[in-house]
Structure 1
């Protein structure tokens, strides 16, 4: 990550804490592999000198975020307090959770809330019928934005020129045999979704799974999130998603608009 220069913004450059930035980057690198990691692996992944990474890791260990046997390092459950703080402080989650629960109970299907984070979407809340357990789109789950219905619903907030530039610069590796990766086709699809007010994506992000999403707008009309419902293709048709799920999603999105600042 490049350092901030005084010429860019004197106040931000003065207030920038490089050691904190490095520590956060190092924490994120634990997710790049499964299982414990060595000091060398973490230093290399975070592009830090080995001695710097060592000091940061032992600081994180003392704070309770990292555990080590002297050779290997792992995250501790204490890191979940960071995610919990976000969820407790998020107005979007607080306002949308009752909506997700109601939609899920009515449709007897899982409903999810996602936000845009760079090129990806991250799911930050969900509603699930009591009868249903499902792995997959849990809180914190991330997917590319270009091939998901929540992602396309949120990408529609950008004007055509900016959207085209974002799609061209975005990593667009296919997730399934059905994934559309051509930036021109994606641009046309997102523009069409923006006009109709929803996005339906069929088996592009995950095999055998389709979903429909609508954008969540705050009081001034700005898109800040998206909610969706999805199901296995053998269980719910695209037509049923439009006829049964879409009205519930639209009603929920409209209901919370005046409540989001």
Structure 2
């Protein structure tokens, strides 16, 4: 059996901490899904060798996953490389059509985007990323690759910091150990920053994800107070100043989150 790399060791350790039976966990399925998520708007075509390097998996493992995904229609051979097939849209469609949160949040994003002439996004935490489940841009065509399903780094974005602040300290620590890749000193500093976000009830980030762009985000809580998503407004620093983000946008986000709580289950 091949030796596990550091990432897989961390995942296996996390499963053991969570109390899951290792015998019930399908690493083959996990690695097949990792292959699917390796593609993005900057790497639309990948070879077996590129996927193996990117995922730190044996080429034989990647080859088996690609053959299976090709047979099922989720990836398509393209010369000596592979690209995602249209069938992957069925996975996103199933999530969006069965998730009532997305239905509730999209009209809210549309309204806030129009009010502030800025992007408005709702996201959930997925590993190292905040994944958009609703998004609106005012009077602009939505850029390909930056709509629903687009990801931003959880530890550097307002959305992600708010989502991480919704975890209790123990779960947050385990999550960051598994997904951040930081050394001990950096991890302590990040946990302190997230604790400040939890206390403040919002996050403000400027220039970290994209130069010249800033955003503020608040948690979205369901009826029992559990944080399940985050909502933000983001724009260029020229369109809205930092002061406007704090004095105009943040109160609107908080008011919206309060109104939504009874609708989120």
- TM-score category of the 2 structures, normalised to the smaller one: 0.7 to 0.9
Q: Following the alignment from structure 1 to structure 2, what is the Cα–Cα distance between the partners of residues 41 and 35?
A: 12
Q: Following the alignment from structure 1 to structure 2, what is the Cα–Cα distance between the partners of residues 32 and 133?
A: 17
2:181 aligned residue (171, 178, 185): 171
Check conservation: 1:209, 1:233, Cα contact below 8 A. yes
- The reply to whether residue 13 of structure 1 matches residue 23 of structure 2 is yes
Aligned-CA RMSD value: 3.2
Distance 1:43 1:198, change over 3 A: closer
Q: Following the alignment from structure 2 to structure 1, what is the Cα–Cα distance between the partners of residues 197 and 175?
A: 17
Check conservation: 2:118, 2:235, Cα contact below 8 A. yes
The structure whose Rg is larger is 1
1:104 is displaced (CA, Å) by 1.6
Aligned to 1:246, the other structure's residue is in SS state helix
TM-score by length of 1: 0.79
Aligned to 1:25, the other structure's residue is in SS state helix
- Per the alignment, residue 155 of structure 2 pairs with 146
More displaced stretch, 37-46 vs 249-258: 37-46
1:255 is displaced (CA, Å) by 1.5
Show CA shifts across 1:42-81 (max 9, x none).
355552452x544443332232222225633222222222
Q: Which 5+ residue runs of structure 1 have no aligned equivalent?
A: 174-180
2:140 aligned residue (123, 132, 150): 132
Check conservation: 1:23, 1:56, Cα contact below 8 A. yes
Check conservation: 1:197, 1:215, Cα contact below 8 A. yes
Check conservation: 1:146, 1:172, Cα contact below 8 A. no
- The reply to whether residue 71 of structure 1 matches residue 73 of structure 2 is no
More displaced stretch, 78-87 vs 41-50: 41-50
TM-score by length of 2: 0.78
2:35 aligned residue (23, 26, 35): 26
Q: Which 5+ residue runs of structure 2 have no aligned equivalent?
A: 1-7
Q: Following the alignment from structure 2 to structure 1, what is the Cα–Cα distance between the partners of residues 84 and 167?
A: 37
Count of residues in correspondence between the two structures: 248
1:13 is displaced (CA, Å) by 2.9
